[in-house]
Amino acid sequence: MGFKNDFVWGAATASYQIEGAAYEDGKGLSVWDMVCQKPGFVKFGDTGDSSCDHYHRVSEDVAIMKELGLQAYRFSICWPRVLPEGIGKVNPQGLDFYDRLVDELLKNNIIPYVTIFHWDYPYELYKRGGWLNPESPEWFAEYTKVVVERLSDRVTHWMTQNEPQCYIGRGHQEGTLAPGLKLGLKDVLLASHHSLLAHGKSVQVIRAAAKQPSMIGYAPVGITYIPQSNSKPDIEAARTAAFSITEKNVWSNSWWMDPVFLGKYPEDGLNLFEQELPEIGPDDLKTIFQPIDFFGTNIYSGKTVRMGKDGRPEEVKRETGFARTAFNWAVTPQSLYWGPKFFYERYRKPIIITENGLSNTDWVYLDGKVHDPQRVDFLTRYIRQFQRAAEDGVDAMGYFCWSFMDNFEWAEGYNERFGLVYVDFTSKNRIIKDSGIWYRKVIESNGNI
C-alpha cells in the first residue's frame, strides 16, 4: 500500500536559522538578534548574524534542493526583514528576497510551503509588550497581509505559526529561548491566548487576501506518547496522556490544538488554570477556530506510558543505555505512528509531518564526503512508522525532513547538525551528506524503503 500517490516529500528550514544578513538591506532586529547579544544565552556565544548565508546563496541552495529531488520546501518569513518595526513601513528589499526565493523554487518545480512565523519576533514590537500586548493579534494580521499580498500569486501553501509551545512556553515561561523571559503563568497564558488569536486572524487574512485558492495549516509541537504494549489499556493511557493537561505550563497538545481544531479550550486546562486564565472575549474562540486544511506537526521523540494501577497513565522509565541522538533526544520511531494516529483521530485533518530528523555528529571525512549512516537509519525507522500510520487509516499528506541543511540551532548555536546538507560555517561551503543522496531515492520511490 504505502503512501498515496500525491504524498508530498520535502525538507524544512527557518529564517533566522539559515538566512544570515542580520543587519543588511533594511532588516529590523528580532528578539533572536537581541538574545544572541546576551552573554551566555547561546552556546559558545554563537549568533545567527551570518549563519548559512542563505540570503546571498538562494540560487545555489535551491539548485541543491533540486539535486536532492525535493518536491516541496518549507521555509519561514523573517517578520522584521519585511516589516523592520513589525508594523507600518514595509521594507521592499526584504520582500524582494522572498520573491527571488519563491521564483527560484518554482523554476525548479519545488512547491513553496511558507511558514508565516517561526520565532523571529520583531524587537520593536517586543519593546511594546510583544505577545502580552492585546494589539499583537492585529500586528500579526497586518504582517500576514503584507506577505500574502506579495506572494500569493505564486504561493498556495501556508502555515501560520511554528511550535507555539516553544516560543511561548520556553521563550516566556522557562526563559531558555527568545525573548528569554521567565513570566508567571498568568502572563504566559495571556501571551498564549494572543498567539492563538493571531493564528485565527492570520487565517482570515490569508482567505481574504490570497490571489488564488490556498491550503492553510498550523505547525505545533506534536508531544507524543507511545503505549508500552498493544493492550487496550496501554493504548488508552497513551491517548489520554497525549491530550491531558496536568502541570501549570503550556507544554501540552490540547491547549494549543483544541481551540484551533475544535473551537474550545480543553476542560482540564480551564480547571487547572482557573486562577490564572486571561479574559477570553465572547468571540475570541470563533476567531481562533478558523477552517484550516491540514494539521502540521513537528515530531522528533516520544515518551512511553502504560496504564497505571490507579487507572491513570504512568510514564515508563527508559531502558538503561537507551538509543539517543547527538542532542540526547531518545530515538523512538513509533512516535511517528502513534502521534499522527492520535492527532488524526481527534482532529480529523490530513497530517503533514512538518519537522522530523536528528542531530548527528557529522564531519567531513578524509574522502571529502560526509557519511551519516545514523541519520539514514533513523529516518528509515521513522518514515516506516509514518507509512504504517497511513496504511492504518491516517490521512498522511506529506513529510518534511528537518533540516534541509545544518544551521543555527537556537540556544545550542552551531553545536547541533540536523541537515541533509553539511555546512562549513566559516567558508559557507555546502556538501550533500550521504543521507541527502539517500533521501532522493526515498522521494523517487514514494517512501518505499
Residues making up the binding site: 17, 118, 162, 300, 402, 409-410
Q: The dihedral of CA 229, 231, 237, 240: what is its sign?
A: positive
Which is the catalytic residue, given 19, 104, 163, 416?
Answer: 163
Own/partner contacts of 206-212, CB < 8 Å, gap of 24 or more, are 206/144, 206/148, 206/152, 206/158, 206/160, 207/290, 209/144, 209/145, 209/148, 209/149, 209/152, 210/148, 210/152, 210/156, 211/152, 211/153, 212/152, 212/153, 212/156
Catalytic residue among 355, 391, 412, 444: 355
367 contact partners, CB below 8 Å, separation of at least 6:
none
Q: Is 232 exposed, middle or buried (0-12, 13-18, 19+ CB in 10 A)?
A: exposed
Which three cell numbers, joined as nine digits, stand for 233? 489499556
Which residues carry a binding-site annotation for substrate? 17, 118, 162, 300, 402, 409-410
| β-strand pairing of 430-432 with 421-423 | antiparallel
Angle between helix 373-391 and helix 434-444 axes, rounded to 10 deg: 20
Chain centre distance of CA 137: 20
Distance (Å, rounded) from C-alpha 137 to C-alpha 387? 37
Q: Is 412 a catalytic residue?
A: no
Residue with cell 497564558: 189
Q: Among this protein's residues, is 355 annotated catalytic?
A: yes
Distance CA 375, CA 304 (A): 22
Residues annotated catalytic, as ranges: 163, 355
